[in-house]
Amino acid sequence: MYNMRRILMILAASAITMSAGAQATLENGIKMYNYGKFKSAQSNLSELAATNALANYYLGLSYLDAGDPATASTTFLKYPEDPANISGTARVAFVNKDVAKGMQIAKDLAAKSKKKEWIQEKYAADAITYTTGGDYHQAIAWYTDALTKNDNIETHIALGDVNRKIQGGGGPAMDNYETVTAKDPKNSLALSRIGDLWYEAHNWTSALDNYAKAKDADATNPLPYKALTNVYTRSGKYQLALENNKKYIQLSDNTLMDKLEYLRALYRAESSCDAAKYAQDLLAHQQLKNENRIEVTGILGYSQIDCGDSTEALKNLRAYFGMQDPKKIMPGDYIQLGKLYLKLGLLDSAGYYYTKGISGDTAQNKTDIYRQIAEAFKTKKDYCKSADWYNNLIKANPETQPGDYAWRAIMYYYCKDLEKAMNAANDFAAKYPDQPSVPYWQGRCAAVIDSEATTGAAVPYFIKWLDKVGPDYPKKNEMKGAYEYLLYYYYNKKDKENVKMYIEKIKAIDPQNKSMLEIEAAEKTPAAPKQPAKGKK
């Protein structure tokens, strides 16, 4: 008898323990669903759903919100008389765009509510609130009536959620969420919702404050980290966005969509090498939709540019451009590809894609882009194309800096297009007359045009420049070039005084200067040729 009593006590205790465990699993499953962790919810609820209608309802919701309405429908039909699961069938109808059917199921369910019964109205309203197409005002009416019969936290959160879907509903939504936090200050879900409201109102400080409270209230809630990722992304604080997204990834189910957002966060934060590796892993191990495969391939290519793998970057970007709808390729994409070709030394392709990107870019100021291209061609010693890009820059932005005007003239000079070089130098003089280098480059251009130093075209420019820079100017080779032209010009004009002066100036810089020595010898030797061979100008 004693043993039987002992066995019965053990069995009773075991039943209590099992019941508590099942309840914990149910509560945890609902919590996982509310936090958007649908796979975790399915794992928690699948076994319990065989004997528990509420567990079955949330199991069906986890399938529905994960994008599997067919499995959700089959799940809800296992409990055809249960109000929650009936509500689930209405949600499936709304998701399948059968609004009339969804509303009819919801109305029939709400009509079953009696004087003190409220749960049918609540579930009927939920079917409308958490889908699209239904009558949100009807949902509000059902929630309001349900609250008169049972004032509970879940209904207030749902009433807040539906109010956010109607114009001017932000205030009532906030009232309901704050009603919840007044009753339960550690309700992480309500605090997250309050943060969302402030985020939608562009009140970043209050949004951040409430997301922080939501994190403190429940360290397992991934929602505030996801929201913070959005806040910091929108405000351009990409490193902070990435830090919060990393935490979200740790707490979430890490679904494919979660992984895609993490990849975007890495890319935006310019964690290029990490983004490239993560993109490669996604392409290798995930069943991606075509649109996602295109995006990941593009991010891979662009990340490889900054990570230093130019050859692989070009391969992947060619694949990206081949897959992507041309209408979705932005001007910036072409400019990025142009930069890559430039980096690889493929200047013609670089120029083509830069031009294609710039022509489609509606931005007002393209100065930096033009300058990058011009400088790249200059580095490659393709002076003519460099000059043309500086010219494009100045035409697009006449108020640009003096250096751009100077380099346009210099590049045309080295391109040996002297007419354009002189015109560019004159434009430089007109725009920035006080720049010391203006008369120097006017003089250089005029000196080459007057190659025999007979017209003196360069004389006023060089004299003006020399006066500006003074005798202590450190770039002595530039001074010597000007002196040489002036020496030849005055030698041709038989101006012995100036010839003597410029011989001395050149001698002070370069005592063995060939041109200077020849003219000096000619001046001292009457039998010498009147005009020695002209040296480099």
Angle between helices 290-307 and 310-323 (to 10 degrees): 150
Looking at the predicted structure, is the pLDDT value of residue 196 above 90?
Answer: yes
**Mean pLDDT for the stretch of residues 7-12:** 36
Q: Is residue 464 part of a domain?
A: yes
* 139/398 Cα distance (integer angstroms): 61
* 260/443 Cα distance (integer angstroms): 60
Q: What rounded mean pLDDT belongs to the chain?
A: 89
386 near 377, Cβ under 8 Å?
Answer: yes
Query: Model-level pTM?
Result: 0.66
pLDDT digits (tens, 9 = 90+) for 216-231: 999 999 999 999 999 8
- Of 223-227, 355-359, 367-371, where does the model show the most confidence? 223-227
Looking at the predicted structure, is the pLDDT value of residue 14 above 90?
Answer: no
Q: Is residue 308 part of a domain?
A: no
Domains contained in the chain, number: 1
Task: State the pLDDT confidence band at 364, using cuts at 50, 70 and 90.
Answer: low
pLDDT digits (tens, 9 = 90+) for 96-153: 999 999 999 999 999 998 888 999 999 999 999 999 999 999 999 999 999 999 999 9
Q: What is the pLDDT of residue 19?
A: 46
Looking at the predicted structure, is the pLDDT value of residue 432 above 60?
Answer: yes
* 406/425 Cα distance (integer angstroms): 7
Beta-carbon count within 10 A of 101 CB? 15
Q: What is the pLDDT of residue 377?
A: 85
Q: What is the pLDDT of residue 106?
A: 96
Q: Is residue 403 part of a domain?
A: no
Own/partner long-range contacts of 175-183 (Cβ < 8 Å, ≥24 apart): 180/153, 180/156, 183/153
Question: Which residue matches tokens 């076994």?
Answer: 47
Phi, psi dihedrals of residue 112, rounded to the nearest 5°:
-80, -10
pLDDT digits (tens, 9 = 90+) for 478-497: 999 999 999 999 999 999 99
* 173/190 Cα distance (integer angstroms): 11
215 near 224, Cβ under 8 Å?
Answer: yes
Reported residue count of the chain is: 537
Q: Is residue 515 part of a domain?
A: yes
Looking at the predicted structure, is the pLDDT value of residue 9 above 50?
Answer: no
Q: What is the pLDDT of residue 349?
A: 86
Q: Where does residue 348 rank: exposed (0-12), middle (13-18), buried (19+ CB within 10 A)?
A: exposed
Q: Is residue 175 part of a domain?
A: no
Q: Is residue 468 part of a domain?
A: yes
441 near 481, Cβ under 8 Å?
Answer: no
Q: Is residue 527 part of a domain?
A: yes
pLDDT digits (tens, 9 = 90+) for 65-108: 999 999 999 999 999 999 999 999 999 999 999 999 999 999 99
More confident of the two residues 530 and 429: 429
Angle between helices 83-95 and 99-111 (to 10 degrees): 160
Share of the chain above pLDDT 90, in %: 75
Task: State the pLDDT confidence band at 8, using cuts at 50, 70 and 90.
Answer: very low
Q: Is residue 406 part of a domain?
A: no
* 227/210 Cα distance (integer angstroms): 11
Which domain covers residue 535, as residue numbers?
A: 450-537
pLDDT digits (tens, 9 = 90+) for 288-315: 899 999 999 999 999 998 888 899 999 9
